[in-house]
């Protein structure tokens, strides 16, 4: 099936500030794509470009084969849910939800039907006569969704839809949101800075940083095979150990003799022996060991008990800090331990060492790479 929504080489600058560089993405029909990234990554700008509130300096946007780049937002037939909902304060719920139906000449009976359907979809039937100021934040969010979906748009855009809700409400609303979107089967692009939200809601997740797309893939792929160092650190917890590539593709860890760990190289690491690289490993891929060979010595600096799992921050003798996931009784703060890759765990990833990592190497004050 050909992709439904295509972004081709989008560039956008505000004044001298380049916010998006060469963004190209394809979204399949009925898919939910999450745009994930820290603030300033350009994800909101990308969404606003798709919606038509900004025009790209370069690039194209195609929907169902149609080039909509020059089309004003009111003609694109996209639905959008805003971060602060943007419900019209002077209209009641019914008038808000029916707003997008006005141009269609549906007649009052049909309009009433559609409004009721939209409200039923978000599980708020009977709310027609309520005023915007009378309903709670979570309900406002759902009304905003109903309003966006009532005109049956071809694409749904969500701008940090859950960031305004308190955490207990967020989880529940997230499930309801997913249910509603799946029921309608609409192509959806959602912007968020929370990895958990992106993983829960998105069929695929696109990670943006500094205006550049780092990787777009299903959540498993992102987590297990991150394409860049940034993705490795942003999606899930990770520790980094600088080293050099060996002849057989392993990494000799710097600062200690004879420790060589294996891993999966990312594309930028290459395969030339002697390349300065960084070995990035997740907590669940490390374990405490008694073996002296091929393990790193360290001291437990902090033990963080999180109920179902316990994380140990270990200060290694070579001057770096790593995080280890281990049973709750594995060690206590202050213990001397040895750390090695956990058998059967996710292989670590190997990335070309970035300039910052190399600089830190020269000043071994030791900095935690745990994000």
Partner 1 sequence: MTTRQARFAGPLPYAAALVCLLLAWLVCYPLLMTLLEALGGPNAWTLGHLGDFIHRQDEWMALWRSLWISVASVILAGAIGVPLAFLFERTEFPGRRFLGAVAALPVALPPLVGVIAFLFLYGESGFVSRAVQGLLHLQDPPWHLAGPGAVLLVHAYSMYVYFYLFVRAGLARQDVALLEAAASLGASRLRTLFTVTLPLLRPSLGAAALLTFMTSLASFSAPYLFGGGFRVMTTQIVASKLNGELGLAQVETVMLAVLAILALAAMRRVEGSAGAGGATGVRGIAPARRRLASPVARGTAFVLGWVMAAVLLLPHAVLALISFVPPFTWTTETIPPVLDGRNWAALVTKPEHLRPVVNSLWMAAAATLAAVVLGLAAARLAAVRRRGFLASALEWLIALPWAVPGTVFALALATAFGVSQPWLGRFVLIGTPWILPLAYLVRNLPLTGRGALAGLRGIDPALEEAAASLGADRWRRLGRIVLPLLRPALAAGAGLAFITALGDFVTSIVLYTYDTRPISIEILASLRLQDLGMAAVYGVLLMTASTAAFLLWGRGEAR
Task: Tell whether residue 305 is a contact of partner 1 (CB under 8 A).
Answer: no
Name the maximum alpha-carbon separation found in the chain: 80
Beta carbons of 258 and 294 less than 8 angstroms apart: yes
Beta carbons of 211 and 20 less than 8 angstroms apart: yes
The CB-side HSE value for 153 (13 A sphere, CA atoms) comes to 26
Cα separation, 153 vs 107, whole angstroms: 19
Instruction: Please name which of 186, 175, 205 lies closest in space to residue 25, comparing C-alpha atoms.
Output: 205
Task: Tell whether residue 349 is a contact of partner 1 (CB under 8 A).
Answer: no
Neighbours of 215 (CB within 10 A): 22
Task: Tell whether residue 90 is a contact of partner 1 (CB under 8 A).
Answer: yes
Q: Which stretch binds partner 1 (CB under 8 A): 144-152, 175-183, 211-219, 320-328?
A: 144-152
**Token pair listed for 70:** 């020059």
Task: Tell whether residue 133 is a contact of partner 1 (CB under 8 A).
Answer: no
Smallest gap, in angstroms, from Cβ of residue 256 to partner 1?
50
**Which one of residues 22, 24, 70, 88 is an interface residue with partner 1 (CB under 8 A)?**
88
Cα separation, 76 vs 67, whole angstroms: 10
Residues 88, 90, 94, CA angle at the centre, nearest 5°?
70
Map the footprint of partner 1 across residues 13-42, applying CB under 8 A: none
Cα separation, 321 vs 153, whole angstroms: 50
Task: Tell whether residue 202 is a contact of partner 1 (CB under 8 A).
Answer: no
Smallest gap, in angstroms, from Cβ of residue 146 to partner 1?
12
What is each CA distance from 181 to 152, 163, 189, 223, in whole angstroms? Answer: 12, 18, 11, 24
Smallest gap, in angstroms, from Cβ of residue 116 to partner 1?
18
Task: Tell whether residue 185 is a contact of partner 1 (CB under 8 A).
Answer: no
Task: Tell whether residue 82 is a contact of partner 1 (CB under 8 A).
Answer: yes
Map the footprint of partner 1 across residues 44-73, applying CB under 8 A: 51-55, 72-73
Beta carbons of 149 and 184 less than 8 angstroms apart: yes
In this complex, which beta carbon is closest to partner 1, that of residue 166 or of residue 257? 166
Smallest gap, in angstroms, from Cβ of residue 72 to partner 1?
7
Q: Supply φ then ψ for residue 253, to 5 degrees.
A: -70, 135
Smallest gap, in angstroms, from Cβ of residue 78 to partner 1?
6
Task: Tell whether residue 78 is a contact of partner 1 (CB under 8 A).
Answer: yes
Task: Tell whether residue 100 is a contact of partner 1 (CB under 8 A).
Answer: yes
Interface with partner 1 (CB under 8 A), residue total 30
Smallest gap, in angstroms, from Cβ of residue 181 to partner 1?
17
For binding to partner 1 (CB under 8 A), which residues are involved?
A: 51-55, 72-80, 82-84, 86-90, 99-100, 102-103, 147-148, 151, 157
């Amino acid at each position: 099936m050909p992709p439904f929504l295509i972004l081709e080489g989008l560039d956008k600058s505000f004044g001298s500030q380049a916010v998006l560089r060469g963004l190209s993405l394809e979204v399949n029909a009925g898919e939910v794509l999450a745009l994930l990234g820290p603030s300033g990554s350009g994800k909101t700008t990308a969404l606003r470009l798709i919606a038509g509130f900004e025009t790209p300096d370069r690039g194209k946007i195609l929907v169902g084969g149609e080039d909509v780049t020059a089309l004003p937002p009111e003609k694109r037939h996209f639905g959008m849910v805003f971060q602060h909902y943007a419900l019209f304060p002077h209209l009641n719920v019914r008038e808000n939800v029916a707003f997008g139906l006005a141009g269609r000449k549906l007649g009052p009976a049909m309009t009433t039907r559609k409004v009721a359907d939209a409200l039923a979809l978000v599980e708020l039937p009977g709310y027609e006569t309520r005023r915007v100021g009378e309903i709670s934040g979570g309900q406002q969010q759902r009304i905003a969704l109903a309003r966006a979906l009532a005109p049956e748009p071809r694409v749904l855009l969500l701008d940090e839809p859950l960031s305004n809700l308190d955490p207990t409400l967020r989880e529940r609303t997230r499930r309801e949101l997913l249910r509603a979107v799946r029921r309608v089967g609409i192509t959806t692009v959602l912007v968020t800075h929370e990895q958990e939200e992106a993983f829960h809601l998105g069929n695929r997740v696109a990670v943006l940083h500094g205006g550049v797309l780092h990787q777009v893939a299903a959540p498993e792929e992102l987590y297990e095979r991150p394409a860049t160092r940034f993705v490795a650190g942003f999606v899930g917890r990770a520790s980094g150990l600088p080293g050099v590539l060996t002849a057989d593709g392993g990494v000799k860890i710097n600062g200690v003799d004879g420790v060589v760990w294996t891993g999966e190289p990312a594309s930028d690491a290459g395969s030339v022996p002697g390349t300065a690289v960084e070995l990035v490993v997740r907590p669940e891929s490390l374990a405490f060991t008694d073996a002296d060979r091929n393990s790193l010595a360290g001291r437990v600096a902090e033990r963080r008990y999180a109920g179902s799992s316990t994380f140990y921050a270990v200060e290694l003798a070579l001057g770096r800090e790593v995080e280890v996931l281990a049973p709750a009784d594995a060690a206590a703060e202050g213990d001397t331990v040895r750390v090695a890759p956990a058998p059967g765990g996710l292989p670590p990833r190997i990335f070309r060492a970035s300039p910052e990592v190399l600089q830190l190497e020269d000043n071994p004050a030791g900095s935690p790479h745990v994000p």
